[in-house]
Amino acid sequence: MFKRLWDDVAAIRERDPAAGSNLEVLLCYPGLHAILWHRLSHALWRRGLKLPARFLSNVNRTLTGIEIHPGAQIGARVFIDHGMAVMIGETAVIGDNVTLYQGVTLGGVSLDPGKRHPTIEDDVVVGAGAAVLGPFTVGRGARVGANAVVLREVAPGDTMIGIPAHSAANKRRRPDQCCFQPYGTEPGEAEDPTIRAVDELCKHVDMLHARIETLEAERVQERKRELLAS
């Protein structure tokens, strides 16, 4: 038990440069507290003590601002950074070395009592405000950019951006590469291809306007010469 706790603390210190000491992490990180409360409530849930498990998860939410259903399965060294308003549903499965930022939702889109929440494989980073909705898998080492809304399977190592989320194919990386990218993407690296396409169209329109103005000026000069010649 204590080894797992220290692994969690070490993972936080590796991924958060603001973590000054082990004691600071133990006392001041609600993401760590939420995971510890969840382990207790999940143990009760697995033993069929569902009402006490739900009660503890509610206490967890009240104390940390992080809502984790006691039925959710969470692996080792999971780091919930900042954490406020994170929601993890009942049938969600989270692997090892996963990082979730504030406002993340691992939710469902169905009233089916079976599997309805996502499976997040090892080494995934889900950026602030992102929503991953449905019973599909986010592959190992994938990244979900801030505020993205993911509604379909994500390939290992892929980067998902936008609403609805789509692959930033040029940002795909191998699953064995470094798993950590703050907020799912590096600053400026995941420009939305739709926005990029619109920008290119705007540039083309500006170029056409400039060309039309040049042609109109040439036509005016040509007309003046014709009048002078006549």
Give pLDDT tens digits for 82-118.
989 999 999 999 999 999 999 999 999 988 889 999 9
* Main-chain dihedrals φ then ψ at residue 181, nearest 5 degrees: -135, 120
Residue 193 has pLDDT above 90, yes or no: no
DSSP letter for each residue of 40-56: HHHHHHHTT-HHHHHHH
Give pLDDT tens digits for 6-61.
999 999 999 998 998 999 999 999 999 999 999 999 999 999 999 999 999 999 99
Per-residue buried b or exposed e for 44-55, using 16+ beta carbons within 10 Å of the residue's own CB: bbeeeeeeebbe
Are the CB atoms for 64 and 86 separated by under 8 Å?
no
Q: What pLDDT does residue 183 have?
A: 67
Q: What pLDDT does residue 201 have?
A: 85
Q: What's the DSSP call for residue 113?
A: S
Residue 178 has pLDDT above 60, yes or no: no
Considering the entire predicted model, what is its pTM?
0.77
**Backbone dihedral region of 15: left (phi > 0), alpha (psi from -120 to 50 degrees) or beta?**
alpha
Q: Where are the beta strands (DSSP E) in 157-218?
A: 159-161, 166-167
Q: What pLDDT does residue 194 have?
A: 63
Q: What pLDDT does residue 121 have?
A: 97
Mean pLDDT of the chain: 88
Average pLDDT over residues 75-84: 94
21-25, 95-99, 134-138, 196-200 — which is least confidently predicted? 196-200
State how far the Cα of 159 lies from the Cα of 41, in Å rounded to an integer: 33
Give pLDDT tens digits for 218-230.
888 888 888 877 7
Give pLDDT tens digits for 201-212.
888 888 998 999
Q: What pLDDT does residue 172 have?
A: 56
Q: Where are the beta strands (DSSP E) in the chain?
A: 67-68, 73-74, 79-80, 87-88, 93-94, 99-100, 105-107, 119-120, 125-126, 131-133, 137-138, 143-144, 149-150, 159-161, 166-167
| Owner of token pair 């930033």 | 168
